[in-house]
């Protein structure tokens, strides 16, 4: 089987508030990859042309052993469907979160701060289901940006 390398480039905009002491809120200016932690993500979407997020799953592995498992649901999901996802999560000992809670409390801390490897079968698509805004590049033909959280 032939392996195809996939490389994604991500940028995080740093903004400093007035009076910022320059500590960058814990951001390491020389980040090092975390080879022991892997975050595996998958999303399920509506079957229409919009493919809105219904729910997703995420497993966190540390040194090859599953440490946590999460289910998360999209912003358009009805309360009765959220109850079903929560019931499934409870039966299977999974933490259930909203899309926003997942991004801000699991995804960013693990991938951005801890530098965990992020794995997905179609990662650009899955990440696009988590975003709240996107934009096309002004300079590069096929480039784009995703905004995953309003929390800077």
* Digit-coded pLDDT (tens) for 70-98: 999 999 999 999 999 999 999 999 999 99
pLDDT over threshold 60, residue 1 = no
Which position has the higher pLDDT, 102 or 142? 102
pLDDT at 29: 67
pLDDT over threshold 60, residue 14 = no
Through-space distance between the first and last CA atoms of the chain, rounded to whole angstroms:
42
* Digit-coded pLDDT (tens) for 103-128: 999 999 999 999 999 999 999 999 99
User: Would you kindly state where each structural domain of the chain is located, as residue ranges?
Assistant: 32-147
Q: What is the average pLDDT across 62-70?
A: 95
The residues that bridge with 116 in the sheet, in sequence order, are 34
pTM for the model stands at 0.78
């Amino acid at each position: 089987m032939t392996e195809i390398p996939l490389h994604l480039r991500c940028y995080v905009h740093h903004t400093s508030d007035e009076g910022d002491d320059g500590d960058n809120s814990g951001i390491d200016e020389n980040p090092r990859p975390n080879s022991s932690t892997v975050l595996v993500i998958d999303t399920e979407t509506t079957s229409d042309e919009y493919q809105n997020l219904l729910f997703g799953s995420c497993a966190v592995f540390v040194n090859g052993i599953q440490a946590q498992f999460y289910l998360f649901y999209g912003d358009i999901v009805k309360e009765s469907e959220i109850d079903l996802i929560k019931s499934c999560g409870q039966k299977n000992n999974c933490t259930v979160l909203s899309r926003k809670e997942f991004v801000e409390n699991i995804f960013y801390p693990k991938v951005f701060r801890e530098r965990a490897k992020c794995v997905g079968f179609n990662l650009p698509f899955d990440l696009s289901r988590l975003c709240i805004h996107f934009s096309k590049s002004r300079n590069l033909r096929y480039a784009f940006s995703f905004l995953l959280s309003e929390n800077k």
